[in-house]
C-alpha cells in the first residue's frame, strides 16, 4: 500500500458554450420598427444572413506524459501549444531573475528569447508570483490557452520545473496540451548519491548526471569523496591526503555552478571516524589499533586529538567550497564497535570515554561524542549535518544530536535499529534503503543491481528498511530519498555502464518522490515513455 502526505487531484473538465445567432426577417408593411413602403410598391425581401463559419471543435485535453507525472491537470478544449516561427520565451517584467531559466529553455526549443516585453501569440511567458504555485518554492502553475503558455511559480525552482514539464510534453506528445497544470513535489529532498572516492568519475560525467537529474526534477546530488580507497577533491589544508586521480577545485566549482543553475544542491561527504584509509595513508599515526597492536582498516583513533584536528580542518575547508545547506559527516561502520568487547579490545578508547563522559561511559559514547563534535563543526559553518543511521546508538550515556538528519540505509550493520525507533525519537530521516536504492558496483556482499521496475512497483518513501513501510503517521518526518551508487569493486563497470545501469532506477525514484500514490502508468507504459523522452 502507498502511504503519502499528498492527495492526487483530478482536474475537472472545462465545458465550452457555443452561442448561436438567430436571424429574424421583417414582413412588408408598417410594423413597429419596420420601414413603410409607398402604395403600389412591393417590399424588397431581405437577403438571408449567411450561417456562421464553422469552428473546429477540440476534444478535452489530456495531461501531458512526463517523468515524473504532473500532480494535477485541468482539461480544456483547444489546440494546445507548440513552437512555431517567431515563438519566443519571454521573462515577465519584474521577474528578471528567471533570465537563466528562460535562456536555457529558448536554447532547448530553438526559439527566440526576450528578457521583458509584450507576450505575443506563440510565446512562452515565465513569471514569478507569490500565488504561482500550490505550495513551496518548487511548485508551479503552467497555463496553456490562446496559443500561449504561461509558467508561474513563487520561486525560480518551481518555474524551472515548469519548463521541464513543457519540454517533456513536447517530446512525448508533440504539443503542450490546453488547460492548466498545477504541480509540486511530494518530498523536499530527491536525488542521487555518488561514491567518487572508490572510483574516480570525471567532471564531465558528473555534469551529465546533473543535467539528467534536472530534467527529472531531482534536486540533491551527494558526493562521497573520501574513503579508504581514495580522497578525490584537491585540498589546500591537507594536500598530502589527496589521491592522484581527483577533481580540481576549479572542476568542483564548475560542477557546483552548473548544479546551482539547475536548482540542484551538491552535498559533500567526508565519512569519519571510519572510512578514513586515504587520510591515514598520509597520517599512519592516526590508525586505530587494538590492545595487541593490530590495525583496523579505515578506522581512525578517536582518542587521539590529532585525529579530530585533521578531520575538522577538512570539514571547514570543504564547507567553504560547497555553498549548499548540508554537509554529510558519515559516522557509519566504525570498526571498534564491531568486536565483542570494545572496551577490552581498545582500552585507549575506553579510557577516553570515561574521562570525557563519566564512569559509566563506553566506546559507543566516545563514537557518539565524535559524531556530535563533527556535526558542531559543520553547523558552525552554517551547514545542516547529516549522518548514516548506524552511527546513532541506543543505551549509552550520550545520545546523538536530535538535529542531525538521519540517512537511513541499512538494518544490517552494528548499531542499526529499526527505522521506527529513529522516527519515534522525532528525528528527520532521508531514505537510502539498501534493499532498493543501492547500486553497488560488482554486486558484492549479496547486493544486486536495483531495477527501475522494482522501485516503481514496490518502493515508497516510507519503505526505509527491507520491504516494510513504517506507519503513515511518520510520513512528515521522511524528507525524501536518493538512489546511491557505491563503487566497491570500482573496475566492475565503466562510467558509461554505470550511467546506463541507473537510467531506469533514477527515473523510478523521481516518480515515487514527486507524485504520491500509485502511478497511473503501468511499468511497460512508463518504460516506453522513458525511452521516448530519452
Per-residue pLDDT of the chain (534 residues; tens, 9 = 90+): 333 333 333 333 333 333 323 333 333 333 333 333 333 333 344 445 555 445 578 999 999 999 999 999 999 999 999 999 999 999 999 999 999 999 999 999 999 999 988 999 999 999 999 877 668 999 999 999 999 999 999 999 999 999 999 999 999 999 999 999 999 999 999 999 999 999 999 999 999 999 999 999 999 999 999 999 999 999 999 999 999 999 999 999 999 999 999 999 999 999 999 999 999 999 999 999 999 999 999 999 999 999 999 999 999 999 999 999 999 999 999 999 999 999 999 999 999 999 999 999 999 999 999 999 999 999 999 999 999 999 999 999 999 999 999 999 998 887 789 999 999 999 999 999 999 999 999 999 999 999 999 999 999 999 999 999 999 999 999 999 999 999 999 999 999 999 999 999 999 999 999 999 999 999 999 999 999 999
The pLDDT value recorded for residue 117 is 81
Please check whether residue 435 is in contact with residue 467, taking contact to mean a CB–CB distance below 8 angstroms.
yes
Q: How far is CA 132 from the centre of its chain?
A: 21
- The answer to whether residues 366 and 302 touch, using CB atoms and an 8 Å cutoff, is yes
144: phi then psi, degrees, rounded to nearest 5: -120, 115
Distance CA 216, CA 527 (A): 14
DSSP helix/strand/coil, 69: coil
Q: How far, in Å, CA of 157 to CA of 278, rounded?
A: 37
Q: Which of 62, 371, 366, 431 is nearest to 220 (CA)?
A: 431
Within 8 A by CB and 6+ apart from 522, the residues are none
Q: Looking at residue 55, what is its pLDDT?
A: 56
CB 481 within 8 A of CB 432: yes
CB 302 within 8 A of CB 349: yes
The predicted pLDDT at position 415 comes to: 77
Angstrom distance (rounded) from CA 479 to CA 5: 11
The bridge status of strand 220-226 relative to strand 429-431 is unpaired
- Going by C-alpha positions, the residue among 78, 199, 55 that lies closest to residue 148 is 78
* Residues 6+ positions from 318 with CB-CB distance below 8 Å: 233, 268, 270, 327
Question: Who contacts 19 (Cβ-Cβ below 8 Å, separation ≥6)?
Answer: none
Name the one residue in this structure whose C-alpha cell is 518555474: 159
Amino acid at each position: 500500500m502507498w502511504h503519502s502526505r499528498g492527495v492526487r487531484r483530478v482536474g475537472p473538465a472545462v465545458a465550452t458554450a457555443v452561442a448561436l445567432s438567430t436571424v429574424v426577417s421583417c414582413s412588408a408593411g408598417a410594423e413597429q420598427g419596420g420601414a413603410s413602403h409607398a402604395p403600389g410598391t412591393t417590399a424588397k425581401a431581405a437577403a438571408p444572413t449567411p450561417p456562421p463559419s464553422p469552428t473546429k471543435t477540440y476534444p478535452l485535453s489530456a495531461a501531458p506524459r512526463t517523468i515524473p507525472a504532473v500532480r494535477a491537470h485541468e482539461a480544456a478544449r483547444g489546440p494546445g501549444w507548440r513552437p512555431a516561427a517567431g515563438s519566443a520565451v519571454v521573462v515577465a517584467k519584474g521577474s528578471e531573475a528567471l533570465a537563466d531559466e528562460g535562456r536555457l529553455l529558448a536554447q532547448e526549443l530553438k526559439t527566440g528569447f526576450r528578457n521583458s516585453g509584450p507576450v505575443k501569440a506563440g510565446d512562452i511567458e515565465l513569471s514569478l508570483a507569490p500565488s504561482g504555485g500550490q505550495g513551496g518554492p518548487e511548485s508551479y502553475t503552467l497555463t496553456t490557452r490562446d496559443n500561449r503558455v504561461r509558467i508561474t511559480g513563487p520561486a525560480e525552482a518551481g518555474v524551472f520545473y515548469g519548463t521541464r514539464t513543457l519540454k517533456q510534453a513536447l517530446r512525448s506528445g508533440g504539443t503542450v496540451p490546453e488547460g492548466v497544470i498545477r504541480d509540486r513535489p511530494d518530498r523536499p529532498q530527491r536525488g542521487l548519491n555518488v561514491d567518487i572516492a572508490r572510483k574516480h568519475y570525471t567532471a564531465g560525467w558528473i555534469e551529465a548526471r546533473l543535467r539528467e537529474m534536472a530534467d527529472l526534477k531531482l534536486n540533491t546530488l551527494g558526493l562521497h569523496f573520501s574513503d579508504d580507497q581514495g580522497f578525490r577533491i584537491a585540498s589546500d589544508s591537507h594536500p598530502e591526503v589527496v589521491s592522484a586521480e581527483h577533481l580540481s577545485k576549479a572542476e568542483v566549482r564548475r560542477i557546483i555552478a552548473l548544479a546551482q543553475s539547475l536548482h540542484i544542491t551538491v552535498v559533500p561527504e567526508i565519512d569519519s571516524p571510519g572510512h578514513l584509509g586515504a587520510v591515514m595513508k598520509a597520517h599512519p599515526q592516526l590508525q586505530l589499533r587494538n590492545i595487541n597492536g593490530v590495525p583496523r582498516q579505515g578506522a581512525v583513533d578517536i582518542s587521539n586529538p590529532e585525529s579530530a584536528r585533521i578531520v575538522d580542518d577538512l570539514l571547514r575547508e570543504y564547507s567553504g567550497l560547497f555553498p549548499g545547506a548540508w554537509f554529510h559527516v558519515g559516522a557509519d561502520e566504525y570498526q571498534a564497535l564491531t568486536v565483542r568487547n570494545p572496551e577490552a579490545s581498545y582500552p585507549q578508547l575506553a579510557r577516553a570515554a570515561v574521562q570525557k563522559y563519566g564512569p559509566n561511559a563506553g566506546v559507543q559514547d566516545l563514537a557518539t561524542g565524535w559524531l556530535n563534535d563533527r556535526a558542531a563543526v559543520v553547523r558552525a559553518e552554517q551547514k545542516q549535518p547529516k549522518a548514516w543511521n548506524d552511527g546513532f546508538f541506543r543505551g549509552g550515556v550520550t545520545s546523538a544530536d536530535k538535529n542531525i538528519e538521519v540517512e537511513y540505509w541499512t538494518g544490517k550493520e552494528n548499531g542499526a535499529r529499526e527505522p521506527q525507533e529513529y522516527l519515534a525519537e522525532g528525528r528527520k530521516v532521508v531514505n537510502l534503503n539498501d534493499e532498493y536504492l543501492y547500486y553497488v558496483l560488482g554486486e558484492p556482499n549479496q547486493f544486486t543491481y536495483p531495477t527501475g521496475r522494482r522501485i516503481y512497483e514496490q518502493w515508497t518513501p516510507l519503505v526505509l528498511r527491507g520491504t516494510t513501510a513504517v506507519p503513515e503517521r511518520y510520513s512528515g518526518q521522511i524528507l525524501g530519498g536518493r538512489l546511491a551508487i557505491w563503487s566497491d569493486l570500482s573496475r566492475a563497470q565503466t562510467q558509461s555502464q554505470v550511467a546506463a545501469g541507473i537510467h531506469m532506477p533514477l527515473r523510478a525514484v523521481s516518480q515515487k518522490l514527486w507524485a504520491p500514490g500509485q502511478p497511473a502508468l503501468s511499468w511497460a507504459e512508463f518504460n516506453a515513455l522513458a525511452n521516448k523522452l530519452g
